[in-house]
């Protein structure tokens, strides 16, 4: 089976940096996704990490440690529009890249 844990809710201030953690336990791990979902909208792809380390993409960075079953999404220079749910998801070996999602972290950015 698969177990994915992430905090339910986080709050942060505009302009600040926030780190959203995700831990997972799964057999046959292949890679880890991060998706962003604004209320009432479809999820949008942010990143997919396969190798250990940090990958930076503009204001967003994603980190993976395969040995620790741990990932985080780092959001810098927070903007009000970053208020959304952030979904961590894992894909298993086999090449299908089908994500199994965690419950998501609701991030609230306030002025």
Partner 1 sequence: KAGVTQTPRYLIKTRGQQVTLSCSPISGHRSVSWYQQTPGQGLQFLFEYFSETQRNKGNFPGRFSGRQFSNSRSEMNVSTLELGDSALYLCASRPGQDYEQYFGPGTRLTVT
Indicate the residue among 16 and 98 with the shorter CB distance to partner 1: 98
- Round to whole Å and give the CA distance between 64 and 72: 7
Could you say which residues in the range 90-109 bind partner 1, by CB under 8 A?
91, 95-104
With CB under 8 A as the rule, give the number of residues binding partner 1. 21
Could you say which residues in the range 8-27 bind partner 1, by CB under 8 A?
none
Indicate the residue among 42 and 51 with the shorter CB distance to partner 1: 42
How many whole angstroms from its chain centre is CA 90?
Answer: 10
Does 48 participate in binding partner 1 (rule CB under 8 A)? Answer: yes
Does 62 participate in binding partner 1 (rule CB under 8 A)? Answer: no
> Is there a contact between 39 and 49 (Cβ–Cβ < 8 Å)?
no
- Round to whole Å and give the CA distance between 88 and 106: 12
Does 42 participate in binding partner 1 (rule CB under 8 A)? Answer: yes
Residues 6+ apart with CB under 8 A from 99: 33, 35, 89, 90, 91
Distances (CA, A) of 25 to 2, 77, 104: 6, 31, 16
Indicate the residue among 38 and 59 with the shorter CB distance to partner 1: 38
Residues that bind partner 1 (CB under 8 A): 31, 33, 41-45, 48, 87, 89, 91, 95-104
């Amino acid at each position: 089976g698969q177990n994915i844990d992430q905090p339910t809710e986080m709050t942060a201030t505009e302009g600040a940096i926030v780190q959203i953690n995700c831990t997972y336990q799964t057999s046959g791990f292949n890679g880890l996704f991060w998706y962003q979902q604004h209320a009432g909208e479809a999820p949008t792809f942010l990143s997919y990490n396969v190798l250990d380390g940090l990958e930076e993409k503009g204001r967003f960075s994603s980190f993976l440690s395969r040995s620790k079953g741990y990932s985080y999404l780092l959001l810098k220079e927070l903007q009000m529009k970053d208020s959304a749910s952030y979904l961590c998801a894992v894909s298993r070996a086999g090449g299908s890249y089908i994500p199994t999602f965690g419950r998501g972290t609701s991030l609230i950015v306030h002025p």
